[in-house]
Amino acid sequence: MNSKGTVAITLSPEEEQKKFLEEAKNNVMVQGHHMKVALDNGKLMDALKYTSDIINELRTSLLSPKSYYALYMVAFDYLQHLNSYLFEEKHGKRMIELYEVVQHAGNVLPRLYLLITVGSVYIKTKQAPAKDVLKDLIEMCRGVQHPTRGLFLRYYLSEVTKDKLPDVGSDESGGTVFDSIEFIVQNFTEMNKLWVRMQHQAPTKDKDRRENERLDLRVLVGKNLSRLSQLEGVDQNVYSKTVLPKVVEQIINCKEKIAQQYLMEILIQVFPDEFHLATLDTILSTCSQLQSGVDVKAIIASLIDRLANYASRNTIPENIDIFAVFFNNVKEIIQNRANMELQDILGLHVSLLNLTLKCYPEKRENANAVLGLCQQILTNKSKEEINKPTCVKQIISLLQIPLEVFKNVLAVLKLTSYQPLIQFLSYNNRKKVSLDIVNNTIKNSTIIEEPEDVNSLLETIQTLIKDETDQPEMDEIDKEDFQEEQNKVASLIHLFDSEDPEKLFKIYIVARSHFGKGGAQRIKHTLVPLVFRSLKFVTKLKKQVDDGIISLDENQWTLIGTKIFNFVMETIKALVDIKLSELSFRLYLQAIQTADKCNLQKITYDFAIKALVIFQEDIADFKAQVNALTLLISTLNSLSLSDVELYETLAGQTIKQATRLLTPHDQSKLISLCSHLFWVDHDTRQYKNPDSVLQALRRSLSIITNQSDAGLSVFVEILNECIYFFDQKSDAVPPQFISDLVELIRTTHSKEGDSASVYLQNTIKYIATKKESDKSYAEISV
């Protein structure tokens, strides 16, 4: 409280810092100005005194590290000015004298700054051997043990001597690169100790702030390591024998996590990849000795990533098995660091996997070893821990990377630890990975030829194949997504292929047994392709038998063909059982055609009967009935079936179904189509029964004629059927029949505006055109 009654102004810590810094900076600049003037006037002693005053400002304890750094930079500029003046030697003094003179400065900090300034010029002018001056200076710096002041003093030492360090090719008398290494390492060690001590400067409640402030100064310490890396004399050999052991010793001994973390990162960053490659064991064993709070994962992962990139650009010496070194060390580190986060452990696995796939693409056992280790580790972890998003992400990466790299699902399936790893994931993630596998297989069109591989693939993606205990309720699943997924799974069948028929059939049996577990929602997607593939398979097999590529006698063929068709029948039956009647009916029709082409009449007939049974019992919708019957008629028409009795039974059954349709319109329409059952005229079969053709057409016409609301369209359709048989020169339909029908339609049923009017006009136009070119049309009058 201000006793004089004026208003007290309380400054925030930031404002306070600003104020302290401004004041100190101001003082430095005033003294600096005096110093420059003194130098301009050749008054060196005065200038040194003003310099002392500048440095005195650096004795402050009021500034945060950041502010201190800003102040240091201002002071540094003036010191540089002095430095250049001294080097120009206008003062006429010998360096040894000056070196003595500045040792009399009153306070230790100004004395040491001045000593370093003069010392650096001393080396530069070569009036003394560098190694001796360096040794002297670094010893004297011990005099300052205050962390911030000491740190900056040593930083100053490092800055002004950086271009004066003995190195390869410099004058032997000044010292060797080993003197420089000794000097830098010692400075590094001391600076690091001071830096570490900084954290103890503040009360515990300020610890976080203090640590953050401390981080601002890490560069000062790290600079020493880059200095080392810049020395030409530090080659791989010197690095591994001299530099690394000393640096590592300090890193381990400081026992402080922030320092360890930062210094390891810098060490890896500033030295070249070749050096790390040669000293992997040392670096990794250092990692295992770091404090428990150190993010070892980040250090190792960045090293692995660097070396993996290096390996992709360069050849790695054969005697170094990078993967083995990393793998063994990582394994050990994970074991020894009980508190390592699972996501970090998994992250290391991802790095290891990338490493081996980049460096040793042929050694797939390495990839398997990584997945195996991961599996082993996850076995001892709780579900909650594994299912954290950060962990799940890494596990999914581990599973996706081999797919992306191998571009071949077969190679991925060979990794024995791959599938077990999937099992650790939750339902949705297992499904996601399974879909990735399916999409990858389809995208790369990977053909799978071995039944065992098919089995292994379908087992691996089992989340998509069958119900699982942890899946969501069916009504929670997006129907469209589900269908898309199942369509993808269903597509796989087209990639299962083998030149060996026995193997291929075995593949289909394996696939059938997996898909069979899928339940109604899945088999409606997955079994249909299996039916078509089986039909394609048996068609091809028959052709190979016919062409003599595969030698089977008639009996053998019938036996094998029957076996395959039984498989087809049993597969369609599964769809019949879940009441997919229309689909099953169509599949039966497909099977009829294939069996017919394979010359298996008994089976053809069996399938036809199955189709008819479904039609009678399970297809109830009127429109569906019309569609189904239309397809049945064309199917029967297309057959080569030589057994006339069998055919006529089927044709008779078909007509019977047509007469049972609900509406007379449909009856008439379908009976008229049934005329085609009696006029089969193609390469493989001739079956011509003109009387039955005409009978069907008459019957059809009489049904529609008796309808009061007959309309026009069915009449025109019948007329066009008549024309069909007339154009076929079938003699089934007399010209008079057509003329009468046209007359009937015109007089009785043609109404303006009927949607079939155009059809009628086009038909009449067609007849008229034909009359011009085709003599047989002469007898038709329109």
Partner 1 sequence: MNEITIADILKYKRLNFIIAIGDLHVPHRSHGIPPEFKKLLVPEKIQHILCTGNLVSKDIHDYFKTLTSDVHVVKGEFDENSSYPDTKVVTIGQFKFGLCHGQQIVPWGDKTSLAALQREMDVDVLITGHTHHIEVFEANNKLFINPGSATGAFSNITHDVTPSFVLMDVQGYDITIYIYKLIDGSVKVEKLEHSKQ
Shortest distance in whole angstroms from residue 499 CB to partner 1:
16
Instruction: Tell me whether residue 290 or residue 712 sits nearer to partner 1 (CB atom).
Output: 712
Instruction: Tell me whether residue 294 or residue 670 sits nearer to partner 1 (CB atom).
Output: 670
Q: Do 310 and 273 contact (CB within 8 A), yes or no?
A: yes
Q: Do 126 and 173 contact (CB within 8 A), yes or no?
A: no
3-class DSSP state of 687:
strand
Residue tagged 């069909």 (tokens): 724
Shortest distance in whole angstroms from residue 247 CB to partner 1:
55
Shortest distance in whole angstroms from residue 756 CB to partner 1:
8
Instruction: Tell me whether residue 401 or residue 756 sits nearer to partner 1 (CB atom).
Output: 756
DSSP 8-state secondary structure symbol assigned to residue 444: T
| Structure tokens that stand for 361 in this block | 């693409």
| Structure tokens that stand for 434 in this block | 């399974």
- Tell me the Ramachandran region of residue 467: left when phi exceeds 0, alpha when psi lies from -120 to 50, beta otherwise: beta
Chain mean position to CA 217: 39
Shortest distance in whole angstroms from residue 761 CB to partner 1:
9
Shortest distance in whole angstroms from residue 563 CB to partner 1:
20
Instruction: Tell me whether residue 90 or residue 682 sits nearer to partner 1 (CB atom).
Output: 682
Instruction: Tell me whether residue 396 or residue 578 sits nearer to partner 1 (CB atom).
Output: 578
Shortest distance in whole angstroms from residue 637 CB to partner 1:
5
Instruction: Tell me whether residue 284 or residue 592 sits nearer to partner 1 (CB atom).
Output: 592
State residue 317 phi and psi, 5-degree precision: -55, 140
- How far CA 399 is from CA of 341, 387, 392, 405, 416, in Å, comes to 20, 15, 11, 11, 12
Burial of 191 (0-12, 13-18, 19+ CB in 10 A): buried
Write out the residues near partner 1 by the rule CB under 8 A: 442, 445, 480, 483-484, 487-488, 490-495, 525, 528-529, 532-533, 535-536, 539, 583, 586, 590, 593-594, 597, 627, 630-631, 633-634, 637-638, 673, 676, 682, 716-717, 720, 723-724, 727-728, 756, 758-759, 762-763, 766, 769
Compute the half-sphere exposure of residue 260: CA atoms within 13 Å on the CB side of its CA. Answer: 21
Instruction: Tell me whether residue 98 or residue 541 sits nearer to partner 1 (CB atom).
Output: 541
Instruction: Tell me whether residue 346 or residue 722 sits nearer to partner 1 (CB atom).
Output: 722
Shortest distance in whole angstroms from residue 456 CB to partner 1:
19
Between strands 685-688 and 679-682, the pairing is antiparallel
| Structure tokens that stand for 525 in this block | 């997607």
Nearest to 36 by CA among 51, 22, 23: 51
Could you give the residue ranges of the DSSP H alpha helices within 408-500? 409-413, 418-422, 427-443, 451-460, 462-465, 479-491
Q: Do 770 and 777 contact (CB within 8 A), yes or no?
A: yes
Instruction: Tell me whether residue 60 or residue 491 sits nearer to partner 1 (CB atom).
Output: 491
Could you give the residue ranges of the DSSP H alpha helices within 198-295? 207-215, 218-230, 236-238, 244-254, 257-270, 273-278, 280-288
Instruction: Tell me whether residue 408 or residue 630 sits nearer to partner 1 (CB atom).
Output: 630
Shortest distance in whole angstroms from residue 315 CB to partner 1:
35
Shortest distance in whole angstroms from residue 467 CB to partner 1:
21
* 614 vs 633: CA distance, rounded Å: 15
Shortest distance in whole angstroms from residue 531 CB to partner 1:
8
Q: Do 259 and 195 contact (CB within 8 A), yes or no?
A: yes
Q: Do 568 and 531 contact (CB within 8 A), yes or no?
A: yes
Instruction: Tell me whether residue 231 or residue 697 sits nearer to partner 1 (CB atom).
Output: 697
User: CA-based diameter of the chain, in Å?
Assistant: 141
Q: Which amino acid is at 434?
A: S
Q: How many other β-carbons are positioned within 10 Å of the β-carbon of residue 211?
A: 13
Shortest distance in whole angstroms from residue 491 CB to partner 1:
4
Q: CB within 8 A of 685, min separation 6: which ones? A: 639, 640, 641, 642
Shortest distance in whole angstroms from residue 658 CB to partner 1:
12
Shortest distance in whole angstroms from residue 332 CB to partner 1:
46
Instruction: Tell me whether residue 178 or residue 482 sits nearer to partner 1 (CB atom).
Output: 482
Instruction: Tell me whether residue 422 or residue 723 sits nearer to partner 1 (CB atom).
Output: 723
Q: Do 192 and 43 contact (CB within 8 A), yes or no?
A: no
Three-state SS string over 689-722 comes to CHHHHHHHHHHHHHHHHCCCCCCCHHHHHHHHHH
Shortest distance in whole angstroms from residue 722 CB to partner 1:
10
Instruction: Tell me whether residue 250 or residue 675 sits nearer to partner 1 (CB atom).
Output: 675
Nearest to 763 by CA among 709, 735, 734, 724: 724
State residue 688 phi and psi, 5-degree precision: -125, 120
* 573 vs 567: CA distance, rounded Å: 10
Shortest distance in whole angstroms from residue 589 CB to partner 1:
9
Instruction: Tell me whether residue 491 or residue 750 sits nearer to partner 1 (CB atom).
Output: 491
Shortest distance in whole angstroms from residue 459 CB to partner 1:
20
* 606 vs 565: CA distance, rounded Å: 10
3-class DSSP state of 680:
strand
DSSP 8-state secondary structure symbol assigned to residue 499: S
Instruction: Tell me whether residue 86 or residue 674 sits nearer to partner 1 (CB atom).
Output: 674
Shortest distance in whole angstroms from residue 753 CB to partner 1:
15
* 625 vs 615: CA distance, rounded Å: 7
Nearest to 345 by CA among 374, 372, 320, 369: 374
Instruction: Tell me whether residue 291 or residue 539 sits nearer to partner 1 (CB atom).
Output: 539
